[in-house]
Amino acid sequence: MASRPKSNPDAHNPRVLVTGGAGFIGSHLVDLLASNGSEITVVDNLSTGRLANIEHHLSGIRFIEKSLDDALALLEDEPPFDRIYHLAAAVGVDLILQDPIGSIETNVEQTSALLRYASTHSNPPTLIASSSEVYGKPGASVFSEDDDILLGPTTTGRWSYAHCKAIDEHLALAYTQTRGLPTVICRFFNTVGPRQSGRYGMVLPRFVQAALENKPIRVFGDGKQTRCFCDARDVVAVLPTLLDNTDAHGCVFNVGSDHPIEILALAQAVIDELKSGSEIMLTPYCDAYPAGFEDLRHRRPDLSRIIESTGFAPSFTLEQTIHDIAAFIRGTTLQSKKNA
């Protein structure tokens, strides 16, 4: 795994498909690919994505507002893509708990459809977005890609997302092993940044929104649980490098930061950076989630594999990300008032 990316002679103006390209991470990837001159097709049904995230690109990209399986039927007889980034998914703990059937079907069936399409259309390098949730609740404090995983029982709905993402990974690796489809699996760890919504339980935009309104910031549990936050703009910057590295095909990579912060400290950092009058309010999990909800005390990735393969080194500080999220929320709020 020590080799660096190999040059790809077909990398000039490649035809690229981005599923979920109007979403949070997907739209930042579209920004990057557009700046590199790619010919981009975005598929997004806008269930959680926002057209506003990519409207500055609409004159130069193809946008298909459909569910992925319907879009793939439309693309069936068209020339194949040179690269595929599969980011479409039902995400966020709140959404998973609110709509378990829809979330499970989306996360498994759509990935299966995408892999089937890719394998019958010239086998382009295909990136599958996965999640640190796949690790479940292991005993180790640092998560490595080849670690054993321990998922909670199927009777606890909170674990359905992890089960789905694990199935997606198994499917992708099976397509690589049996049909020669070059896949790369990326397990994202707490990706944050502008365009992210707090609507589905995403912690940092929820904190920033409350701080801007000087409202109490709710921190669940005792706030001593730790997470590692990485800006989406750093995350997407490494994805094409991984996909174009033939040594990375058929491999799983942790993608994120490895600098943990307690959630209580995160809330205080938001208050300090934005000079907010908000107070921190500790909230028991039972007041926010169904009975039996389990949270992880610590979640930190081992990044040695992705550093070895790409030299990955995130550059955005948490403080910069907080300010950029705040600027995005202010801009969105101002635009909503103008449109009212």
Tens of pLDDT along 96-124? 777 889 888 989 999 999 999 999 999 99
pLDDT over 90 at 60, yes or no? yes
Contact 197, 48 (CB under 8 A): yes
Tokens of 282: 């500790």
Signed CA dihedral, 53, 58, 61, 66: sign only: positive
pLDDT above 90: percentage of residues in the chain: 75
Residues across the chain = 340
Report the SS3 class of residue 261: strand
Q: Token digits for 33?
A: 């690919």
- Mean per-residue pLDDT for 38-59? 96
CA distances from 147 to 95, 109, 154, 227, 305 (A): 27, 26, 21, 19, 13
| Cα dihedral 15/17/18/19 (nearest 10) | 170
* Domains of the chain, earliest start first: 15-260+290-339 (3.40.50.720)
Name the pLDDT band for 10 (thresholds 50, 70, 90): very low
Q: What is the pLDDT of residues 123-153, one digit of tens each?
A: 999 999 999 999 998 777 899 999 999 998 8
pLDDT in tens, 151-202: 988 888 888 999 999 999 999 999 999 999 999 999 999 999 999 987 766 8
Catalytic residue from among 85, 117, 135, 161: 161
pLDDT of residue 204: 96
Q: Which residue has the tokens 């298909």?
A: 64
175 is catalytic: no
Average pLDDT over residues 257-263: 97
Q: How far apart are CA 184 and CA 203, in angstroms?
A: 27
Strand order in the sheet with 251-255: 62-64, 39-43, 15-19, 83-86, 126-131, 183-188, 251-255
The Cα 290–Cα 286 span in angstroms is: 7
Q: Shortest CA distance to 41 belongs to which of 16, 22, 11?
A: 16
Q: Tokens representing 143?
A: 């998560």
Cβ neighbours of residue 148 closer than 8 Å, sequence gap 6 or more: 138
Entry pTM? 0.92
Q: For the CA atoms of 159, 164, 168, 169, what is the dihedral angle to 10 degrees?
A: 10
Pairing type for strands 280-283 and 260-262 reads unpaired
Q: What is the pLDDT of residue 99?
A: 83
Task: Determine contact, residues 13/82, Cβ cutoff 8 Å.
Answer: no
| pLDDT on residue 11 | 46
Query: In whole numbers, what is the pLDDT of the chain averaged over residues?
Result: 91
Helices 203-212 & 263-273 angle (0-180, nearest 10): 40
For the cut 70, the answer to whether the pLDDT of residue 74 exceeds it is yes
Indicate if the alpha-carbon torsion angle 127, 7, 39, 256 is positive or negative. Answer: positive
Q: Which residues contact 69 (CB under 8 A, 6 or more apart)?
A: 109, 110, 113
Q: Is the pLDDT of residue 239 over 50?
A: yes
